[in-house]
């Protein structure tokens, strides 16, 4: 995959700006990344109410990034995403690593305004389902049934909730409309339902194959129980960078 056109091959769902790339990295790369995440000093972890995270690349302010040099294992993955997607005007300079235990998730939210509006999320460990919900300021699907075509945005896009099943080693990319018109989140339930996942058909076999290893799949109900921890690398570009480098 070497160009934005190549990326179109991975488009999923009804929005033109959501891409799911299965097996973006190898098993060996996944192991290497997990090793490095675990090796990070305890002080690198920040505990939140419902998950832990590591912040790499510097401190993100409303007015830009107070940069901090990235370790090579993150520079390499950023470079791969930057080169293979062709979606960024400059190299990716910030990575947030989230850790989710089997019953942890992330509240529906929109990423901050300091970031360039393209997000790349690399998944490691347990599969999960990410839910996208239109902002309340946008009309919902149900509203649209009773109202007229003004409910569509300037691209003629309707705003329906949707989900994506994120398998380990996959890369999810979303931008523009999906970035600013929707909230994204993961339920904090160990039971994850993928009935409505836009990539259900492509990914289901992969999920069934990984059964016993990382999940317990409930075939009849398009759902699975998480039994493992998941890590994600949220790789983004903060276009505005302050001159002074923070010490690592
Ligand atoms: O873990 C994920 O897949 C989502 C992380 C996320 O949305 C964020 O870091 O802003
Ligand atoms: Fe996010």
Nearest CA to ligand 1 atom 3: 232
Task: Let me know: does 108 contact 11? Beta carbons within 8 Å.
Answer: no
Nearest CA to ligand 1 atom 9: 234
Shortest-distance atom of ligand 1 to CA 172: 3
Q: How confident is the model at residue 32 (pLDDT cuts 50, 70, 90)?
A: very high
User: 106 in ligand 1 pocket by Cβ < 6 Å?
Assistant: yes
CA dist 190 → 105, 168, 187, 223, 224 (Å): 9, 16, 8, 10, 8
Q: What is the pTM of this model?
A: 0.90
Ligand 1 mutation target, pool 18, 98, 173, most atoms within 8 A of CB = 98
Query: Which residues, other chains included, contact 77 with Cβ-Cβ below 8 Å and sequence gap of 6+?
Result: 25, 29, 33, 95, 122, 233, 235
Query: For 126-170, what is each residue's pLDDT tens digit?
Result: 999 999 999 876 555 555 444 444 445 555 556 799 999 999 999
Number of H helices, E strands in the chain: 6, 16
What pLDDT score was predicted for residue 149? 42
Instruction: Kindly state the tokens that stand for 173.
Output: 């990319």
What pLDDT score was predicted for residue 212? 61
ipTM above 0.90, yes or no: yes
Shortest-distance atom of ligand 1 to CA 53: 9
- Assess whether pLDDT exceeds 80 at residue 110: yes
Query: For 72-88, what is each residue's pLDDT tens digit?
Result: 999 999 999 999 999 99
Q: How confident is the model at residue 220 (pLDDT cuts 50, 70, 90)?
A: confident
Instruction: Kindly state the tokens that stand for 239.
Output: 């276009």
- What is the average pLDDT score of the chain? 88
User: 55 in ligand 1 pocket by Cβ < 6 Å?
Assistant: no
């Amino acid at each position: 995959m070497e160009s934005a056109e190549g990326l179109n091959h991975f488009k999923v769902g009804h929005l033109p700006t959501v891409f799911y790339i299965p097996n973006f990295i190898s098993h060996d790369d996944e192991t290497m990344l997990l090793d490095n995440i675990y090796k990070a000093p305890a002080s690198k972890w920040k505990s939140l109410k419902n998950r832990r995270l590591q912040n790499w690349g510097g401190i993100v302010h409303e007015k830009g990034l107070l940069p901090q040099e990235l370790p090579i294992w993150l520079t390499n993955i950023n470079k791969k995403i930057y080169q293979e997607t062709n979606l960024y005007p400059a190299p990716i300079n910030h990575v947030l690593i989230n850790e989710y235990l089997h019953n942890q998730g992330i509240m529906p939210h929109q990423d901050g305004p300091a970031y360039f509006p393209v997000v790349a999320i690399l998944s490691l460990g347990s599969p999960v389902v990410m839910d996208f919900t239109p902002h309340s300021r946008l009309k919902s699907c149900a509203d649209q049934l009773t109202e007229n075509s003004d409910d569509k945005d300037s691209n003629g896009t309707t705003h329906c909730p949707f989900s994506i099943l994120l398998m380990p080693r996959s890369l999810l990319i979303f931008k523009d409309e999906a970035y600013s018109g929707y909230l994204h989140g993961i339920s904090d339930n160990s039971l994850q339902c993928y009935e409505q996942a836009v990539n259900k058909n492509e990914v289901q076999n992969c999920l069934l194959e990984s059964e016993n290893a990382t999940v317990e799949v409930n075939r009849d109900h398009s759902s699975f129980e998480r039994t493992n921890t998941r890590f994600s690398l949220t790789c983004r570009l903060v276009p505005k960078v302050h001159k002074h480098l923070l010490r690592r």
